[in-house]
Amino acid sequence: MKTLKQGGYDLFKGRTLIVATMHKKENVIAPILEKELSVYCKTIPDLNTDNFGTFSGEIERKDTPIETVKAKALAALEKSTETLVLASEGSFGSHPSSPFISANEEIVVLIDTKNNLEIRGWHLTTTTNFNHQEISTISELIEFAERIGFPDHNVIIKTNTVTGKIKVWKNFESQEELKSTAINLLKGNKSIHIETDMRAMNNPTRLKAIENAVIDLVKNIKSLCPCCKMPGFSIVEAIRGLKCSLCNLPTKSVKAYIYKCKKCDYFCERAKENVSEEDPMYCDFCNP
Ligand SMILES: [Zn+2]
Ligand SMILES: [Zn+2]
């Protein structure tokens, strides 16, 4: 009897998956992947993902988020004998379409070197406490800390030394410790810089965004190529030109997506779900 070519996300079943993190991201990632893909998740004890850039600015991120997340994943695999790995990378700043709103973008990537597969998950949210401020009094410190959700969410304090080097204080265990650090620093500095700690273990709001990116990844993994049945048949391009419901002319809104298989290169166009026309409010002809 001819054996069927293995396909579907069954090809991950029973395998060990390395979660490339040193910031406790496995707490949200492992339960989802173990349930959805029947894998066993483990971390690498001596992995240092800070080499790829830190949020507090001690080490600059040199590459794009997608290059960084892939490099992190492969660095973790190199330290193990496994062939399946997941890494995540976050970015913070203004929302791409609303510059006055802060946003958090999370990318996760699953790399399977045994089957030569790379599948991504993505989540963009305005639910973030990402913030920073110059403070010169303890009441400003307390106000900032309360606003960003301390102590469940932590903060980082930075000062400039005379040589122009940035010094960083982090991992505060209580409000007393945070206060006494700031009191001491304000004796020698007119003001100090305080910012939200965006590392996953110190930021439950960010951890939730990572969880949503992992849910998106699982959705992409479970999307199988109609041609070769490999997982990861997902969106590679958006096609704009959704028709206006009033004048019937094309708008800038997305009408369809191109889905592509990373394994056999088969691709097809699929209309965006649950939308057939655009509100004239977003039409350049009806509402210029
Ligand atoms: Zn395919
Ligand atoms: Zn129109």
Q: What are phi and psi of 4, to 5 degrees?
A: -70, 145
- Distances in Å between the alpha carbon of 118 and those of 40, 84, 111, 221? 19, 10, 5, 10
Residue 96, phi then psi, degrees to nearest 5: -55, -30
**156 Cα: distance to centroid of ligand 2 (angstroms):** 49
- In this structure, the answer to whether residues 114 and 186 fall within a common structural domain is no
Place of tokens 């949503």: 212
**Pairwise CA distance, residues 89 & 97, whole Å:** 21
Structural domain including 176 reads 132-197
Same domain, 88 and 63: yes
pLDDT of residue 165: 84
**189 and 220 both lie in a single domain:** no
Q: Give the span between the Cα atoms of 215 and 262, in whole angstroms.
A: 20
The answer to the question of residue 63 being in a domain is yes
**Statement to judge: residues 181 and 60 lie in one domain:** no
Q: Is 0.85 surpassed by the pTM of this model?
A: yes
Which of 197, 221, 246 is where one domain is finished? Answer: 197
The whole-number mean pLDDT for each consecutive block of 10 residues of the chain, a chain of 288 residues, reads 59 95 90 96 87 74 88 93 96 87 95 94 95 95 96 94 86 96 93 94 95 96 94 94 96 95 93 92 92
Q: Where are the alpha helices (DSSP H) in 79-172?
A: 138-147
Residue 125 CA to ligand 1 center (angstroms) comes to: 31
pLDDT (0 to 100) of residue 3: 42
Rg (CA), the chain: 23
In a domain, 239, yes or no: yes
* The pair of three-digit structure tokens given for residue 268, joined into one six-digit string: 């097809």
Ion ligand 1 nearby residues (CB, 5 A): 225, 227-228, 230, 261, 263-264, 266
Report how far ligand 2's centroid is from the alpha carbon of 251 (Å).
Answer: 8
User: CA–CA separation, 20 vs 72, rounded Å?
Assistant: 7
**80 and 214 share one domain:** yes
Ligand nearest to the CA of 284: 2
**DSSP H helix total and E strand total for the chain:** 5, 12
Domain identity same for 112 and 139? no
> Ligand 1 centroid vs 233 CA: distance in angstroms?
7
CA dist 76 and 82 (Å) reads: 10
- Nearest listed ligand to the Cα of residue 266: 1
As beta bridge partners, residue 40 has 16
Q: Do residues 111 and 213 share a domain?
A: yes
Q: Is residue 272 part of a domain?
A: yes
Confirm if 43 and 28 have CB atoms less than 8 A apart.
Answer: no
Q: How far is the CA of 228 from the centre of ligand 1 (A)?
A: 4
Residues 23 and 112 in one domain: yes
CATH number at residue 80: 3.40.50.10150
Q: Are residues 64 and 207 in the same domain?
A: yes
**81 and 42 both lie in a single domain:** yes
283 CA → ligand 2 middle, Å: 5
pLDDT for res 6: 57
What domain count does the chain have? 3
Indicate whether 46 and 113 sit together in one domain.
yes
Contacts of 42-46 spanning 24+ positions with Cβ under 8 A: 42/16, 42/17, 42/18, 43/18, 43/19, 44/18, 44/20, 44/76, 44/79, 44/80, 46/79
Ligand 1 geometric centre to CA of 11 (Å): 14
* Percent helix / strand / coil, the chain, rounded to 5: 30, 30, 45
Is there a single domain that holds both residue 221 and residue 120?
yes
Measured in Å, residue 1 CA sits from the centre of ligand 2 at 60
